[in-house]
Structure 1
Amino acid sequence: MSTLLLDQPVPVYPLTPQQTPGSGLLQLARAQGQQPAFRQNMLRPHRKDYYHLVFVQRGGSRHWVDMTPYVLKENALYFSAPGQLQLKEKLLPLWGFSLAFTREFLALQPNAALAQLPLLRNPQNGHELLLAPADVAFVEDLFTKLEAEYQQPGEWQQPMLTAHLTVLLTYLSRLYTAQFPGDEPSADQLLLQRYRARIEECFRERHEVSAYAALLHISAGHLSEVVKAQSGKPAIAHIQERLVLEARRLLFHTPQSVKEIAFDLGFADASYFSRFFKRETGLTPAEYRASSREMYP
């Protein structure tokens, strides 16, 4: 498994004008046995700043989302969100479709409601949907319709793309809830979701529950009470878990020193960070790096 060189930060790749004619907010491509059309250095750890869906009909190799490897299966759909640490192991032929779109695309009306679909919120942190034959036919037809509209610029292109995309993401969200079951959120569960979303935005700078309560315009006591009731964990645990996840990503995928990782995550003292990491995981950062590299060569 590849890692970065000592002096390399984890790169973040946007959708570029070269990849996406027009606005650069949405990209659709069909793979018909050729090697995937992405940067060679995606074989190194990287992040994307866009949502990415890949419908695999045939081919492909193993890829990683955070610390989890996925061997691409026939007639399956793979998806990831902005900011997740990823890498691909090989450039092998692939048959299928690739769809990518940015947060800015979702912010446009009438796309805004799409951001609340389970597939994009991904509360269960899944990245693979297995499709039954009827699902394959439906999804393939929608991708074909999206491709036809994508290749026909004009006054009605964006409304048609949005219509087909809405059907596709809604259908995939139904499959998501079947494969990753969960209940519809209540008001308190929505507050928990907002809390987690704020943590995702600010975990490097804000390590205290009170800071997030201020962002959400509620008292720290009320936030702590709701989060504990809905998740079964103290509110501070969600912040700590997000910090540990990012630390594990960097220890696993990069050669950054423990001190560099500590400072990147907002810890002024590297030794305090090491104690924090060991308290949360049972291993020092160095021990975790060594053991994870042995487990996933």
Structure 2
Amino acid sequence: MKRSKEPIPNFHLPETARSGILINSSGEINKAGHDIHLPHRDEHYLLIMMFDGCFKALVDFKQFEVAGSAVALILPGQVHQVLEINKGKTVTISFDPLLVASELIPVLQSYFYKQTVLPEDDILFRELSALLQILIAKKDHHTKPIHAFVMHVTLQNMLALIACKIQSVNNAGTIEKRPALIVQQFKTLLQQSFRQLKKPSDYAKALHISVKHLNDTVKASTGFSVSFHIQQEIMLEARRLLYHSPLSVKETAYTLGYEDVVYFTRLFKKTTGLTPLSFRRQFSH
């Protein structure tokens, strides 16, 4: 079967991004180069800082609404759309994944993959706001290497502060412990490779541990097996495609790496309780 073009619009950072970072404020948010009110995904991170007003969006079938001061992060690949923006001051920072320190990636993904908004924290918000001002001040001098370096370091500091908040919320001060590290590495790899890697043994091999050790560690931490997490990740993408794209069930299965449509349909129903067509009909109204 001939592969069709990307069924859900997938956007890169625009050429106007400075040193891998694009900062937009309030009215400029609608100048993203694409319609932010339609479902789409980005290949970059999107950090949202709201100072006042109201912001409502949908991220992977989960609606979130914030008012007043708030911090949110949308990860690369998450299907999202803005539902409503009321008057107020909002700043968005789009940035290349290459700018995120490897130590921070699993922490950010473990939290923001499940929820989009951080809990309220006035101290954190003031710290992030101060760093944001540095980013804004340096963005017009990005052609000078030292200024670009300052922007990158400042962004890293912002993400590190957010990661610290996540760890305090989750009491995750044990991030360095081996079991927690294995679980985070598995989840990161899963989000990146679920189209290609379908078996627990694939992930165990990539992480250089035994299948039993991986499964025992993941199940002890999350309550679910490695196979369960793999199925959930694949079925989330399946729902994205069925809801947001015109692909047929057969094309959806193929896009996800399944040549056997009957098997895919059976797996989808087992996971969601609906056949792919029933899901599409139910959510199209």
Alpha-carbon deviations, 1:167-191, whole Å to 9, x = none?
3222223333455554523202211
1:43 counterpart residue number: 37
Give the counterpart letter for 1:80 in structure 2. I
Alpha-carbon deviations, 1:131-171, whole Å to 9, x = none?
34444433322211221122233342133223322332222
Alpha-carbon deviations, 1:90-136, whole Å to 9, x = none?
57655221112112223xxxx444435x3354366221124344444
Give the counterpart letter for 2:222 in structure 1. S
Alpha-carbon deviations, 1:239-274, whole Å to 9, x = none?
111111111222222232211111111111212111
Structure 1 length as normaliser, TM-score?
A: 0.83
Q: 1:133 to 1:228 in 2, by over 3 A?
A: closer
2:164 counterpart residue number: 174
Task: Measure, in 1, the Cα distance between the counterparts of 2:200 and 2:215.
Answer: 8
Give RMSD over aligned pairs: 2.7
Is 1:64 aligned to 2:61, yes or no?
A: no
Deviates more, 1:136-145 or 1:256-265: 136-145
Partner SS for 2:159? helix
Alpha-carbon deviation of 1:14? 0.8
CA contact (8 A) 2:99 2:156 kept: no
2:134 counterpart residue number: 145
2:272 counterpart residue number: 281
Q: Where in structure 1 are there 5+ consecutive unaligned residues? A: 1-5
Is 1:77 aligned to 2:71, yes or no?
A: yes
CA contact (8 A) 1:51 1:80 kept: yes
Deviates more, 1:70-79 or 1:128-137: 128-137
Task: Measure, in 2, the Cα distance between the counterparts of 1:252 and 1:183.
Answer: 38
Q: 1:221 aligns with which of 200, 212, 219?
A: 212
Give the counterpart letter for 1:139 in structure 2. L
Partner SS for 2:80? strand
Task: Measure, in 2, the Cα distance between the counterparts of 1:119 and 1:224.
Answer: 23
Partner SS for 1:151? helix
Task: Measure, in 1, the Cα distance between the counterparts of 2:38 and 2:242.
Answer: 14
CA contact (8 A) 2:258 2:264 kept: yes
Alpha-carbon deviation of 1:289? 2.5
Q: 1:237 aligns with which of 224, 228, 235?
A: 228
Alpha-carbon deviations, 1:183-236, whole Å to 9, x = none?
523202211222222222221122111222222222323322322333222221
Q: 1:141 to 1:175 in 2, by over 3 A?
A: same
2:154 counterpart residue number: 164
1:200 counterpart residue number: 191
Q: 1:117-132 residue pairs with structure 2 within 5 A?
A: 118-122=107-111, 125-132=114-121
CA contact (8 A) 1:67 1:252 kept: no
1:29 counterpart residue number: 24
Number of residue pairs matched by the alignment: 280
Q: Identity, % of aligned pairs?
A: 26
Alpha-carbon deviation of 1:278? 1.0
Task: Measure, in 1, the Cα distance between the counterparts of 2:217 and 2:169.
Answer: 27
Alpha-carbon deviation of 1:73? 1.9
1:3 counterpart residue number: none
Q: Where in structure 2 are there 5+ consecutive unaligned residues? A: none
Task: Measure, in 2, the Cα distance between the counterparts of 1:181 and 1:9.
Answer: 39
